[in-house]
Structure 1
Amino acid sequence: MSDIENRCRLVLIAPPMDDPDAARELIAGALRGGDVASVILPQYGLDERAFQDVAEAVVPLVQKAGAAAMVAGDSRIAARSKADGLHVDGGRDVLADAIERFSPGMMVGAGRAKDRHSALEIGELRPDYVFFGKLDGDIKAEPHPRNLALAEWWASMVEIPCIVMGGRDISSVVEIAQSGAEFVALRDAVFAEPGAAAIKVTEANALLDEKAPRFGD
């Protein structure tokens, strides 16, 4: 196991994008900044055709960079774009259906883990990961304290990996890593400043290299 794989890693949440060429350029730029475990593509308000165009532009370059491409919400677009997986925010029943239909051929990750009870219910279905927070939940500089508490509790007792939504500040990755979470998700912290995504990814990885605890220590 490499040193990067032995500590909390970065997951990118793509910002709203409606132009496939611009989306390709933006995500490719971020991926040049360093290690990224996965990129999650939310649909936001795009119609099916527009979202599929964006997914088909972005998924191959994410995979070429060695990261997992996850489509949020629309299983048809995940399949058509040949994404690595599907991120499900629809609750336990929707998650159960997605796991039955697509796993193990496609990764299925679970959102909407709002508290310990819902997290344990989700965990019983054995998704590939559990996500604490909302994909657009980076409304403050720091991560939400509830998500940090859930991650610390989860990481101490459950083997299923967790992703925690970070804040708008790159430094939020440190607090999340110290919770024991396997992954930290960033959106505006990386993409808010045009042209700076690669620099932000490099900065996030440098902080994780320096300050993230190593699993098994």
Structure 2
Amino acid sequence: MSKIEDRCRLVLVAPDIPDGLERVKLVGDALKGGDVASVIVPQYGLSDADFQKHAEALVPVIQKAGAAALIEGDTRVAGRAKADGIHIAGAAAALAEAIERHAPKLIVGGGNATDRHHALEIGELRPDYVFFGRTDGDIKSEAHPKNLALAEWWASMIEIPCIVMGGMDPQSALAVAETGAEFVALRLAVFGEAEQAPSVVAAVNALLDEKAPRFEG
């Protein structure tokens, strides 16, 4: 059996659920389904105080499952919750500031790389990863074609890993893997039907095991 690290791995984006206990249970259940590299936790519409509570409840559950917990946007929340890293969705300046202040102690990565120029601008900052798409960008069944094209170009020439936002269909993970991207992010594909989350994670891992291209050692 091959090592999981030699193919595209799954990243989860925590679902938009205002009930903290329900959110923790759903993410915890999904993580039982199989390999997940990291979980990105967006704030959505939560107040700063509620986001802090959600983060402090979610981070240990994510870490116990062996995944990295990445808090989107709020570096103070990430620090207080003892998260593994910060996901910056904004422009290069915000990412540069986060890298300067928190790397290498924390994983710092992000995106808003809407074209090649912005992707290279972000790449010059040497983040831990570049994200193509938005964490709430899974509005169609397939990954956005522009993000797939950017990932294919990036993976062919840049060593910094990339995460690509997939679509609402779990099968969209394979199209992302075929670009050469190191990671595929899924949100609604996994969490759209709560009780299905663990089996979807298992199915995506099986799909990637069987069909994803392997990275050269």
Asked if Structure 1 and Structure 2 have the same fold, meaning a TM-score greater than 0.5 normalized by the shorter chain, the answer is: yes
Matches within 5 A, 1:147-186: 147-186=147-186
Matches within 5 A, 1:189-200: 189-200=189-200
User: What CA distance in whole angstroms lies between the structure 1 residues aligned with 2:141 and 2:11?
Assistant: 17
Aligned 8 A contact 1:23 1:57 in 2: no
* 2:35 aligned partner: 35
Question: 3-state DSSP class of the match of 2:176?
Answer: helix
Q: What's the TM-score once normalised by structure 2's chain length?
A: 0.98
Question: 3-state DSSP class of the match of 2:195?
Answer: coil
* 1:89 aligned partner: 89
2:77 is aligned with 1:77: yes
* 2:48 aligned partner: 48
Question: 3-state DSSP class of the match of 1:196?
Answer: helix
Counterpart residue type for residue 60 of structure 2: P
Aligned residues: 217
2:12 is aligned with 1:12: yes
Could you list the per-position Cα deviations for residues 120-141 of structure 1 after superposition, in whole angstroms to 9, with x for gaps in the alignment?
A: 0000000000000010111110
Q: How much has 1:35 moved relative to structure 2? A: 0.2
User: What CA distance in whole angstroms lies between the structure 2 residues aligned with 1:134 and 1:89?
Assistant: 7
Q: How much has 1:144 moved relative to structure 2? A: 0.6
Q: How much has 1:111 moved relative to structure 2? A: 1.4
Aligned 8 A contact 2:7 2:212 in 1: yes
* 1:136 aligned partner: 136
Q: How much has 1:24 moved relative to structure 2? A: 1.3
User: What CA distance in whole angstroms lies between the structure 1 residues aligned with 2:169 and 2:3?
Assistant: 24
Q: How much has 1:3 moved relative to structure 2? A: 1.5
* 1:111 aligned partner: 111
Counterpart residue type for residue 154 of structure 2: W
User: What CA distance in whole angstroms lies between the structure 2 residues aligned with 1:19 and 1:193?
Assistant: 16
User: What CA distance in whole angstroms lies between the structure 2 residues aligned with 1:121 and 1:159?
Assistant: 15
* 5+ long unaligned stretches in structure 2: none
User: What CA distance in whole angstroms lies between the structure 2 residues aligned with 1:148 and 1:194?
Assistant: 27
Aligned 8 A contact 1:141 1:167 in 2: yes
User: What CA distance in whole angstroms lies between the structure 1 residues aligned with 2:131 and 2:194?
Assistant: 27
* 2:66 aligned partner: 66
Counterpart residue type for residue 165 of structure 2: M
* 1:121 aligned partner: 121
Counterpart residue type for residue 211 of structure 1: K
Could you list the per-position Cα deviations for residues 99-124 of structure 1 after superposition, in whole angstroms to 9, with x for gaps in the alignment?
A: 00000101101110100000000000
Could you list the per-position Cα deviations for residues 156-215 of structure 1 after superposition, in whole angstroms to 9, with x for gaps in the alignment?
A: 000000000000001001111000000000000000002110011001101000000000
Aligned 8 A contact 1:162 1:182 in 2: yes
Q: Please give the root-mean-square deviation of Cα atoms over the aligned residues, in Å.
A: 1.2
User: What CA distance in whole angstroms lies between the structure 2 residues aligned with 1:212 and 1:3?
Assistant: 12
Q: How much has 1:50 moved relative to structure 2? A: 0.5
2:21 is aligned with 1:21: yes
Percent identical: 64
